[in-house]
């Protein structure tokens, strides 16, 4: 990949069985993974494969218009609580691993990740990222609060939201979002309910999920960064 970059989609008979190898490949630049479709044509594997191919084709055909943007700082009174909210789509695992490697073991902020990945692969992705980071990484649990020095990854096919009391929850609403979990939904919940400092980061991917939420974070006065 370093010498001849190309789009790679991993197709495996059982991704869960080889999840560590799958995410290792993603760390080297593979964009996504999908189970091999059944020869009987039953189930949704064939449709999932075609959808992933379409998504990657769309991604290749787009020249990114995302630019890094930095807003004014959040209010000083809230400086004691810090959050880094990160969203990523296709190609995200490699970008996330690269970013997390740069964070020290005593990083004094909570880190929340929303990656477009099916829930059956989420636990494997968290384990893989934990091996790439000096910080502990695991799936976010319903009802827990973000903690400094801990990386939490959205772990279901429902949207992850921050609630008014500072805890996390998973919800099916809004059902209209094509991407589950949605980056926009999480970013917007940060705008609504996070009272401290925050940084919003939007990494590689396709579509527009996360763009509006990142803009809303910037308008709220948080620092925002988008991968170009």
Distance, CA of 111 to CA of 191 (rounded, Å): 15
Contacts of 137 (CB under 8 A, 6+ apart): 100, 126, 127, 129, 130, 151, 152, 153
Nearest to 201 by CA among 157, 45, 142, 190: 190
Strand ranges for 107-195 from DSSP E: 110-115, 137-139, 151-153, 159-162, 168-171
The residues assigned a catalytic role are 89, 116, 209
- Residue 133 and residue 151 in contact, taking contact as beta carbons nearer than 8 Å: yes
User: Where do the domains of the chain lie, and which CATH numbers do they carry?
Assistant: 9-61 (no CATH), 76-226 (3.40.50.180)
141-165 tens-digit pLDDT: 999 999 999 999 999 999 999 999 9
Tell whether the model's pLDDT for residue 226 goes beyond 70: yes
Nearest to 31 by CA among 180, 226, 203: 203
Range name among 79-88, 96-105, 178-187, 191-200 with the lowest pLDDT average? 79-88
- Residue 64 and residue 58 in contact, taking contact as beta carbons nearer than 8 Å: no
Average pLDDT over residues 193-202: 95
Per the rule left: phi > 0, alpha: psi between -120 and 50, beta: everything else, 205 is left
Residues in a beta bridge with 224: 200
55-108 tens-digit pLDDT: 666 555 554 444 444 444 444 334 458 999 999 987 788 889 999 999 999 999
């Amino acid at each position: 990949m370093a010498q001849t970059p190309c789009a790679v989609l991993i197709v495996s008979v059982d991704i869960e069985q080889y999840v560590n190898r799958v995410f290792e490949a993603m760390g080297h630049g593979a964009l996504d993974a999908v189970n091999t479709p059944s020869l009987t044509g039953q189930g949704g594997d064939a449709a999932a494969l075609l959808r992933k191919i379409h998504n990657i084709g769309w991604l290749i055909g787009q020249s990114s218009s995302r630019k890094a943007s930095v807003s004014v700082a959040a209010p000083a009174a809230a400086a004691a609580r810090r959050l880094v909210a990160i969203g990523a789509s296709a190609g995200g695992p490699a970008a996330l691993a690269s970013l997390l490697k740069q964070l020290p073991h005593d990083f004094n902020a909570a880190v929340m990740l929303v990656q477009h990945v099916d829930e059956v692969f989420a636990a494997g992705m968290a384990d893989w990222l934990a091996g790439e980071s000096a910080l502990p990484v695991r799936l976010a649990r319903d009802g827990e609060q973000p903690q400094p020095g801990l990386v939490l990854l959205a772990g279901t096919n429902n949207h992850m939201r921050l609630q008014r009391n500072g805890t996390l929850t998973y919800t099916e609403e809004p059902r209209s979002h094509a991407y589950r979990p949605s980056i926009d939904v999480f970013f917007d919940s940060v705008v609504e309910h996070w009272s401290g400092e925050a940084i919003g980061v939007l990494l590689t991917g396709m579509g527009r999920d996360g763009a509006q939420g990142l803009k809303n974070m910037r308008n709220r006065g948080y620092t925002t960064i988008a991968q170009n």
